[in-house]
Amino acid sequence: MKLARVALLAAAFVAAVAVCSSSASGEANGQERAALRIEIDGAIGPASAMQFEEALAVAAERNAEVFILQMNTPGGLVTSMREIIADILASPVPVIGYVAPAGGHAASAGTYILYATHVAAMAPGTNLGAATPIEMGGPMPSFPGDDKNNGPEAGKDPKNPPAGNAKATNDAVALIRSLAELRGRNADWGEKAVREAASLSASAALQENVIDFVARDTTELLQLADGRTVEIAGRKKVLATKGLPVETLEPGWLI
């Protein structure tokens, strides 16, 4: 009788532990199924690239469902832009690029970054494009044998741009086309944004297959992203984003 009672108490203890473990797991899963967000408002430089890298690491550590990159930027440094793009391409967490708020834009470097994201969206009243590389710090030096591309007539004919500018432009075209092919977006318009500084409104970007959808706010953004399939580390992942809590990571948390 005593042994039976001990066995019963032991079974009850094991059951209680199982319930607690299940509850703790549920709480952990609840935390994991969150959307983390970072906002880049202004020019893209080393500080914003570092901020993005650190925030994405936090999202990965917490196993966030998605990471929202909200942008309103006139562009920035090519090196910083490429660092952000590299982080997006290597991310274990799906990155949603979102141009917002209304009146904002993802110009120049912002366009390349938006092309790199797993899901691309814009708020109504925003625009993107004008992605032609701009040289900083004065004209490029001439190269031997390249006088015809660096003389007084260089740059007046689109087919005869300065040699240095042509090099940077061709490199930028290759980048944006490769990102477009990776994400199934409009590569021809991407090249036009680089070579001709073309720009698009949010609705036009949707029609041109540059973005996936237009969203008025973060709530609608997550609703429209729900059920979409993205590729992470060579594997398909179906997003479950509808109704997720959103936590914004502020710059002040960086160490």
Peptide bond before residue 101 is cis, with ω within 30 degrees of 0:
yes
Per domain, the residue ranges of the chain are: 33-135+155-253
What tens digit of pLDDT does each residue of 151-205 get?
445 445 545 556 668 899 999 999 999 999 999 999 999 999 999 999 999 999 9
147 confidence band (pLDDT: 50, 70, 90): very low
pLDDT (0 to 100) of residue 25: 36
CA distance 132 to 179: 16
Which residue reads 């073309």 in tokens?
198
pLDDT (0 to 100) of residue 253: 53
pLDDT (0 to 100) of residue 33: 85
Q: 139 versus 137: which is more confidently predicted?
A: 137
In this predicted structure, the answer to whether residue 217 has a pLDDT above a threshold of 90 is: yes
Question: Whole-prediction pTM value?
Answer: 0.80
pLDDT (0 to 100) of residue 165: 84
pLDDT (0 to 100) of residue 76: 97
Which residues are designated catalytic? 108, 167
Q: Are 150 and 162 in contact (CB under 8 A)?
A: yes
HSE-up of residue 92 (Cα within 13 Å, Cβ side): 8
Residues in the chain: 255
Q: How is domain 33-135+155-253 classified at the CATH fold level?
A: 2-enoyl-CoA Hydratase; Chain A, domain 1 (3.90.226)
190-193: Cβ within 8 A, 24+ apart:
190/111, 190/115, 190/131, 193/111, 193/128, 193/129, 193/130, 193/131, 193/132
Q: What's the average model confidence in pLDDT over 96-102?
A: 99
